[in-house]
Structure 1
Amino acid sequence: MAHPVPSGYFDAASTEPAHPAARQALLDALDGGWADPARLYGRARQARVLLDGARERIAGVLGVRADEVSFTASGTQAVHLGMLGALKARRRAGRHLVVSAVEHSSVLHAAETHEAEGGEVTTVGVDGHGRVDPAAFAAALRPDTALACLQSANHEVGTLQPVAEAAEACRAAGVPLLVDAAQSAGRADVPTGWSILTASAHKWGGPPGIGILVIRKNTRWRSPLPADERERRRVPGFENVPGAVAAAAALDAYRADMRSEAPRLSALIDRVRDQVPRLVPDVEVVGHPTQRLPHLVTFSCLYVPGEALLTELDRQGFAVSSGSSCTADTLRPSHVLEAMGVLTHGNVRVSLPRGTDPADIDRFLAALPQTVHRLRRDAGVSAQ
């Protein structure tokens, strides 16, 4: 049975509503995949078959080998394991790490840990659209660079990054490239050439608590954690077999959905990009206008606190996010928007899940101008 997308839910970049395929797969796997997949008796072998099948299904969508795929407890854990494991394995090569200024906080926090332990970090800046210059990224690589990290697409403004060019530069320099594909996996294919890839199942309608870590063959990697026998010694702890099965079912179904949904969602986002500046004075739409994810747009409203705008829109039935998606519970401005040199005040991120009703976009475009006007009036500000 299909479950409709909640009306007015525009925060798919944070988490996608559960895909019907994931719901059914999870229920089935709870019945058949609860035993320990490391044991040898019948029920355990059944759980192992389900786990291996999920791994093969994920690998098929991502275009990799099944034995390169590991299941983690989250996308953040996948990033931390991927980065710290690669840095540990390549200590003889050097202790230099390259990241972009707009990476997800999980990447930047791992970089901080590396730096605190004596490593060196080079941060590559971005242009006003939030995009890394491939030449600048290549120039940051050095003989002692142990790892480079570049997201596939930005989580706050949707800008696609030049992964193919960065991968080619890394290959020429003999440096592994880690790609955080949390925002694009399932929505679009990631360019090849990377060494390590991470993703998170709840971004494509799978269950929360399941991340994906892909380490390509011949990539040097050593676990930064105490030894454990699970997941080819890459991820410690008892495997979440039902979660893995549901994640794989969701990714398979979601990727198929996106063949028709991505163009439809992109057209809806184009409407928002076009209409919001026409309907609301003093608005800046940020992110690349064409090199972007199909489902996401961020805009900034001058003279309006972002938190107040989000609260008012929520009251009217619209679930949107601040552009500062990773720091929404703090008072710090978005590091992404700061790096882009754009307004860090009054940001709204609209990200559409599969099945979004165009009528919800109509309602949003009708409600937004009145809401912004009322908040500006209450603050004693007149739009120019």
Structure 2
Amino acid sequence: MVYLDAASTEPLHPAARDALLSALDSGWADPARLYGAARRAQMLLEQARADVAEVIGARPDEVAFASSGTQAVHLGVLGTLNGRRRVGDRLVTGAVEHSSVLHAAEEHERGGGTAEVVGVSRTGRVDAEAFARAVSAPGTALACLQTANHEVGTLQPVEEAAAACQEAGVPLLVDAAQSAGRLPLPRGWSVLTASAHKWGGPAGVGVLAVRKGTRWRSPYPQDERERRRVPGFENVPAIVAAAAALRATAEEAAAENARLSALVDRVRTEVPRLVPDVEVVGDPVLRLPHIVTFSCLYVEGEALLTELDRAGFAVSSGSSCTASTLRPSHVLEAMGVLTHGNVRVSLPRGVSEGDVDRFLAALPDIVRRIRASLGVR
């Protein structure tokens, strides 16, 4: 199997595996207690917090650990809105945010709040001027913008948005799930969220960072743990492993990004040459180094993923997360591009040129066979 779905889950980094096994022996106790084993767990937890804070450009006391990136987003969005009720009830988001942001926005609207969605270009980049106008409207309590899109890899104008938010006195929540550890994080955020399994840490660890001075109030019943921001018992071994993976990924990023970006450029060039009626989407330059997405006319994404899986390639589709409802990707719809026959190839750490060559060799025949089964020549 050639694994090409790192945007969903990056395989566990060796540094994370080593740290996890060690912490299972030394960090199993309740870090809130006072006996020796508990104090060791607390020390491991706080060192992991300091390591994550250093990589993302935060203070350790601004960082809390959640049970997932989704939970971190929900707490970040709803907690900041809750803390700024006196200011207003307007939420501003980009049209291609992760579904966790959009679901939090829907919950906010069900509670009587309002949300404005800012459109994107055909490459998936948010209109920075429109975003600035939206956040300057009276009663705006929070704005949300991802660092990079999770489906097409396009980088977003976060620093421009942050400047507009600062001028308007509006906090900016940045979803850094796809870029944390891979690229330097943009400045100017008030709340930042991330997810460990995107950078080679174990699943089940999210990061919620809230800058000092940002008003935030938990939407959950108050809990004593994690700066009163995230309820429940901390998974110390997993958090330690997540921090180790983040450090290692950040240290390797410069060399690995250059290598992966060159492979992505090869896919972007070769797929349209090898397969007729294909649209490669996303910004060709302002993008993450490891993600490329294309859509094949006359082909259903689910059928294409199934055949690629049979051929030994694990890839994703913009609509695969909602395959049970047959709903197309909200990202591709917002971009105004082809939504059917969509394939997202996201290259994991260590993927070889040979793996990519094998994918490019197999793809044309698979697409041709699916089209032929539908009577398309």
TM-score interval, smaller chain: over 0.9
What is the TM-score with the length of structure 2 in the denominator?
A: 0.99
The C-alpha deviation readout for 1:208-265, integer Å capped at 9, x for no partner, is 0000000011111011110110001000011110011000000000111111000100
Alignment of 1:147-296 (within 5 A): 147-296=142-291
The C-alpha deviation readout for 1:13-55, integer Å capped at 9, x for no partner, is 0000000000010010010001110111111100000000000
Paired residues of 1:79 and 1:107 also in contact (CA < 8 A):
yes
- Report the aligned-residue RMSD: 0.8
2:66 matched to which residue of 1? 72
2:46 equivalent to 1:56 = no
2:361 equivalent to 1:353 = no
- One-letter amino acid matched to 2:277: D
The C-alpha deviation readout for 1:296-327, integer Å capped at 9, x for no partner, is 00000001111111111111110000023542
1:93 matched to which residue of 2? 87
Distance in 1 of aligned mates of 2:323 and 2:281? 18
2:27 matched to which residue of 1? 33
- One-letter amino acid matched to 1:173: A
Distance in 2 of aligned mates of 1:256 and 1:324? 33
Paired residues of 1:105 and 1:326 also in contact (CA < 8 A):
no
1:4 matched to which residue of 2? none
2:354 equivalent to 1:368 = no
- One-letter amino acid matched to 2:87: A
Distance in 1 of aligned mates of 2:103 and 2:318? 19
Distance in 2 of aligned mates of 1:324 and 1:251? 29
Counting aligned pairs with the same residue, the percent is 73
Gaps of 5+ in 1: 1-6
Distance in 2 of aligned mates of 1:302 and 1:325? 17
Q: CA deviation at 1:89?
A: 0.5
Distance in 2 of aligned mates of 1:330 and 1:234? 34
Distance in 1 of aligned mates of 2:8 and 2:320? 8
Instruction: Specify whether residues 257 and 30 from structure 1 end up closer, same or farther in structure 2 by C-alpha distance, changes over 3 A only.
Output: same
2:316 equivalent to 1:321 = yes
Distance in 2 of aligned mates of 1:328 and 1:21? 34
Q: CA deviation at 1:98?
A: 0.2
Paired residues of 1:99 and 1:123 also in contact (CA < 8 A):
yes
Distance in 1 of aligned mates of 2:228 and 2:366? 53
Paired residues of 1:100 and 1:150 also in contact (CA < 8 A):
yes
Q: CA deviation at 1:329?
A: 4.0
Paired residues of 2:319 and 2:326 also in contact (CA < 8 A):
no
- One-letter amino acid matched to 2:11: P
2:164 equivalent to 1:137 = no
Distance in 2 of aligned mates of 1:132 and 1:156? 14
Paired residues of 2:199 and 2:245 also in contact (CA < 8 A):
yes
Distance in 1 of aligned mates of 2:324 and 2:374? 23
Distance in 1 of aligned mates of 2:320 and 2:302? 12
Which of structure 1's runs of 4+ aligned residues deviate more than 3 A?
none
**Count of residues in Structure 1 that have an aligned counterpart in Structure 2:** 376
Paired residues of 1:322 and 1:328 also in contact (CA < 8 A):
no
